């Protein structure tokens, strides 16, 4: 019987039992490949991380939803940085993902890591047919063009008129799931530096995500490209309230016109549990 240890961390929050849950298997070298997806399904969080040695970074991470492996995702990367960076006492930890190496700057109070900022892969942008997705979401129109951003996770953005419209959403999960397992649908509203968002990815086994780091950076890009904020402005994103997991994300995009130069997403995280599987 082999023992595989993991840590549970709540991400994009500084309050335990809120934010987005993440399980991190801190040493996955002896885990059989066929167990990775099974363990992610068994745990049932929106993502589970498996950590390996890396020649290109401090560690290599593999990210699984309950149904599929992802090249990159935000809250697993930030949460893994908190779990691995705390004992290593690093100011910046570099994590190798399938979408490239992601550096995460860690901020401390004393010896404790309290905040992290990750430089995300710059997204590829393309238009997205709005009719089917608006129907699946149950909304009539988007206030901005409906576009897809791909930074390792593919996200579609739909702008609504107000935060109450975001809160009232009741999408058709089966219709959204037909778009596939590695795409998320983000509905948002707000102004200035404050924005509210909800993200649905039922095709990947995530009916609604409490906090989506991979979507926060492209949201800042989307807002800057369409003139709702200036390039370089930091936005504060509220997510997860409707499912009892309130989360706060910080995002900033640098660039000009249609050129994206840098994308950064930050937040806090709290380790809440440690456990092991005996298999």
Q: How far is CA 73 from CA 56, 93, 275, in A?
A: 19, 16, 23
- Is 47 known to be catalytic? yes
DSSP secondary structure code for residue 137 in this structure = H
Q: Which of 187, 245, 272, 279 is nearest to 2 (CA)?
A: 279
Catalytic choice (34, 47, 129, 261): 47
Residue 34 tokens read as 């066929």
User: Quick one: CA dihedral 94, 217, 36, 179, positive or negative?
Assistant: negative
CA 29, CA 33: separation in Å to the nearest integer?
10
Q: Which of 138, 101, 136, 134 is nearest to 120 (CA)?
A: 101
Long-range pairs for 246-249: beta carbons < 8 A, 24 or more residues apart: 246/13, 246/18, 246/19, 246/210, 247/11, 247/12, 247/13, 247/18, 247/19, 247/20, 247/210, 247/211, 248/12, 248/13, 249/12, 249/211, 249/212, 249/213, 249/216
CA 262, CA 234: separation in Å to the nearest integer?
12
CA 199, CA 153: separation in Å to the nearest integer?
12
CB 95 within 8 A of CB 59: yes
Residue 67 tokens read as 């149904």
- Angle at which helix 74-88 crosses helix 213-225, to 10 degrees, equals 120
Which residues have a catalytic role annotated?
47
């Amino acid at each position: 019987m082999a023992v595989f240890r993991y840590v549970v961390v709540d991400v994009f929050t500084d309050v335990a039992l809120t934010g987005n849950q993440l399980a991190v298997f801190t040493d996955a070298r002896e885990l059989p490949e066929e167990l990775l997806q099974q363990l992610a399904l068994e745990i049932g969080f929106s993502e589970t991380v498996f950590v390996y040695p890396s020649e290109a970074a401090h560690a290599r991470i593999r990210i699984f939803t309950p149904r599929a492996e992802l090249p990159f995702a935000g809250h697993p990367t930030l949460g893994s940085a908190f779990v691995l960076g705390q004992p290593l006492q690093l100011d910046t930890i570099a994590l190798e993902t399938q979408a490239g190496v992601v550096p995460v700057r860690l901020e401390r109070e004393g010896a404790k890591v309290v905040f992290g900022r990750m430089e995300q892969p710059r997204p590829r942008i393309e238009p997205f047919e709005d009719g089917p997705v608006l129907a699946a979401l149950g909304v009539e129109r988007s206030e901005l063009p409906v576009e897809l951003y791909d930074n390792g996770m593919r996200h579609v953005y739909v702008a609504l008129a107000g935060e109450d419209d975001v809160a009232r959403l009741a999408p058709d999960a089966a219709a959204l799931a037909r778009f596939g397992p590695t795409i998320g649908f983000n509905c948002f509203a707000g102004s200035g530096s404050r924005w509210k968002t909800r993200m649905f990815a039922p095709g990947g086994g995530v009916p609604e995500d409490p906090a989506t780091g991979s979507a926060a950076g492209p949201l800042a890009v989307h807002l800057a490209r369409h003139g709702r904020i200036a390039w370089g402005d930091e936005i504060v994103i509220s997510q997860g309230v409707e499912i009892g997991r309130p989360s706060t994300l910080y995002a900033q995009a640098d660039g000009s016109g249609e050129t994206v130069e840098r994308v950064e997403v930050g937040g806090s995280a709290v380790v809440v549990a440690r456990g092991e599987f005996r298999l």
